[in-house]
Amino acid sequence: MSQEKLDPVHLQAPYLIYFGDVVELGFAKTGLGLIQWRKELCAGQFRLPGCGVDGGIAEMSIDAAHAAGVRSVIVGVAPAGGALPASWVKDLAEAARRGMDIVSGLHVRLSEFSELAAAVAESGAQLIDIRVPPRRIGVATGEKRSGRRVLAVGTDCAVGKKYTALAIEKEMRSRGWSADFRATGQTGIMIAGSGVPIDSVIADFISGAAELLSPAAADDHWDVIEGQGALSHPSYAGVSLGLLHGSQPDALVLCHDASRTRILGLGSDQIYPLLSLNETIRGNLEAAQRVNPLARFVGVSVNSSGLETSERSGVLRRYEEETGLPVVDPIIDGPHRIVDRIEQEFEFH
């Protein structure tokens, strides 16, 4: 198993969250996640005409951000494929010329845009790419590691795996447990200050990256691992499986968006319905038990924001009857019932 250590990520606050003209909430999870978990660092948001996303913080132009002392502009959008639309480069270059760092979690490298490279050369600002994996990652060994691990998995992409993992870690720490959130995506890395952008790792090394992310630990320590993609997603199943095998989870939490009926991001002409909760549980459990025969599900985490208030409790109750697991919305209810189940299922914390 590789002993390569993860380098910390240093971002200068306060931030301006750049949403561009993105329409779908599911593609704005970077900016929305930072506002949810690091709101005190977010000075405002920048939105182009037609933007369908609102983080609920102050609207701010580049001029206003500079006057307010903003030090970093965060590209808050992760569209399919991770590209940076050319129409956004002008705004980002203006910010860079004012001395603000530009931070991106997209697959494309900021330095590939000559206008951005010229702007930072002029001002001394930085171009910071988050989606860069560690230089040396070994192939997974499959060796059993000490410590405990809980992994968030999903019925689809962008269903709350990061939110769930962060909420569980916070609850565990509030109980005095030894616990760490382990980030596997660009937003989680920005929040936590370290991690591995697992979808940027060469396929053969994904499981090895998960081993690196969550090394051997004390027997009573919990690593709470952010999941990625979904085993049932035609585009992103590979990263999900590699993360599942490398994590060797003891406990799994299923994440689901209650308002969603089809897989995100495949277009109206290729509609793939979501699998049921129990179908998803069976598939993930089969893969997890390949590397940890004692792996088990401990709860279901539901994003219920798309439901009417009057129907929310009934939907969650139906899911609980369907799965036999505690079901919560971690933002509304908190994750304490899931952590209660973890405490019940395992002999130590």
CA distances from 149 to 88, 182, 242, 297, 305 (A): 39, 10, 15, 12, 28
Q: Are residues 99 and 191 in the same domain?
A: no
For 95-116, what is each residue's pLDDT tens digit? 999 999 999 998 889 999 999 9
Q: Are residues 315 and 173 in the same domain?
A: yes
Examine residue 228 and state whether it is found in any structural domain, yes or no: yes
Examine residue 104 and state whether it is found in any structural domain, yes or no: yes
Asked if residues 336 and 292 have their Cβ atoms less than 8 Å apart, the reply is no
Q: Are residues 101 and 29 in the same domain?
A: yes
**What CATH number corresponds to the domain at position 79?**
3.40.50.720
Examine residue 322 and state whether it is found in any structural domain, yes or no: yes
For 39-93, what is each residue's pLDDT tens digit? 999 999 999 999 999 999 999 999 999 999 999 999 999 766 667 788 899 999 9
Q: Are residues 75 and 220 in the same domain?
A: no
Q: How many CB atoms lie within 10 A of CB 205?
A: 22
Asked if residues 62 and 91 have their Cβ atoms less than 8 Å apart, the reply is yes
Examine residue 4 and state whether it is found in any structural domain, yes or no: no
Asked if residues 16 and 72 have their Cβ atoms less than 8 Å apart, the reply is yes
User: What's at 290, amino acid-wise?
Assistant: R
Grade residue 348 by pLDDT with cuts at 50, 70 and 90: low
Statement: residue 137 has pLDDT above 60: yes
Q: Are residues 124 and 156 in the same domain?
A: no
Q: Are residues 54 and 172 in the same domain?
A: no
User: What's at 185, amino acid-wise?
Assistant: G
Give the pLDDT confidence score for residue 80 in this predicted structure: 64
- In whole angstroms, give the CA distance from residue 209 to residue 189: 14
Grade residue 6 by pLDDT with cuts at 50, 70 and 90: confident
Grade residue 1 by pLDDT with cuts at 50, 70 and 90: very low
Domain final position from 73, 100, 129: 129
Instruction: For the full predicted model, state whether its pTM sits above 0.85.
Output: yes
Non-local CB neighbours of 327 within 8 Å, separated by 6+ positions? 299, 300, 301, 302, 316, 317, 319, 320
Non-local CB neighbours of 86 within 8 Å, separated by 6+ positions? none
Examine residue 218 and state whether it is found in any structural domain, yes or no: yes
**What's the number of domains the chain is made of?**
2
Q: Are residues 67 and 184 in the same domain?
A: no
Q: Are residues 292 and 193 in the same domain?
A: yes
Q: Are residues 125 and 152 in the same domain?
A: no
Examine residue 143 and state whether it is found in any structural domain, yes or no: no
**What CATH number corresponds to the domain at position 189?**
3.40.50.300
Examine residue 134 and state whether it is found in any structural domain, yes or no: no
Domain final position from 101, 129, 157: 129
Domain final position from 97, 129, 161: 129
Burial of 326 from C-beta contacts in 10 A (0-12 / 13-18 / 19+): buried
Q: Are residues 111 and 158 in the same domain?
A: no
Examine residue 6 and state whether it is found in any structural domain, yes or no: no
CA distances from 314 to 70, 82, 167, 262, 321 (A): 44, 37, 23, 21, 11
Q: Are residues 286 and 223 in the same domain?
A: yes
Task: Residue 54: give the domain boundaries.
Answer: 15-129
Q: Are residues 185 and 96 in the same domain?
A: no
- The DSSP code sequence of 159-182 is SSHHHHHHHHHHHHHHTT-EEEEE
Could you give the percent of the chain with pLDDT greater than 70?
96
